[in-house]
Amino acid sequence: MFIIDAKPPENPTKKLKAMLDVFEKKFGGVPPHFKLLGTLNSDELEITLDYVIRLMQHPTINPDLFTFLRLHIAQQEGYRYCVQFNTNLLKSAGYDNDIIIKSSGDISKVPFEKKLQILAIKAVKGVLRFKEFGKRDLDELYGVGWDDNEIFDAINHCGFMLKNGRLISSYILK
């Protein structure tokens, strides 16, 4: 799968070990891309897992929205591994294949209420069409009840996927 041998860090910190245990329980093992990141830079893996765990427990944004955002960015950018991984995550969360396919091509098709749909649309725009993103977009987000921290979390996660998808794709066997 990867052009280097990816394996979990040999001597993880207590914090990293605890986070890896969370992913072991959730996925039945450490996902390959996290093993890759641990091979490349265990400090970065710890930062990344801490970030992902915080998103999984987001107090105001449905955590599944983040998976849909990752899937959409991955589809738009052609990150095959990430498309497959996030598709499988959504299937395991109970979403049907039709909605997964539709939203991967059109983020406005995410299966959530209008407020979350608007956040998804604007988050993707903030990363993939950032030159078009502006005050009007923020005003629309504020108008449906989002605050700057929540908007940041959504846009930042799209950027996270853009960066990590490229990193992962760089190490995939072609």
Residue 8: pLDDT band with limits 50, 70, 90: confident
- Rounded CA separation 113/67 (Å): 16
Q: How many Cα atoms sit within 13 Å of 20 on the Cβ side?
A: 23
30 lies in some domain: yes
- Has residue 153 got a pLDDT over 90? yes
Domain with 21, as residue range(s), is 14-57
- Rounded CA separation 68/124 (Å): 11
Query: 73: helix, coil or strand?
Result: helix
pTM attached to this predicted model: 0.94
- Rounded CA separation 133/126 (Å): 6
- Rounded CA separation 155/152 (Å): 5
Residue 67: pLDDT band with limits 50, 70, 90: very high
23 lies in some domain: yes
Do 110 and 35 reside in the same domain of the chain? no
Q: Both tokens of residue 137? A: 């977009």
Residue count of the chain, please give it: 174
What's the pLDDT tens digit per position in 16-32? Answer: 999 888 888 888 888 99
9 lies in some domain: no
Residue 93: pLDDT band with limits 50, 70, 90: very high
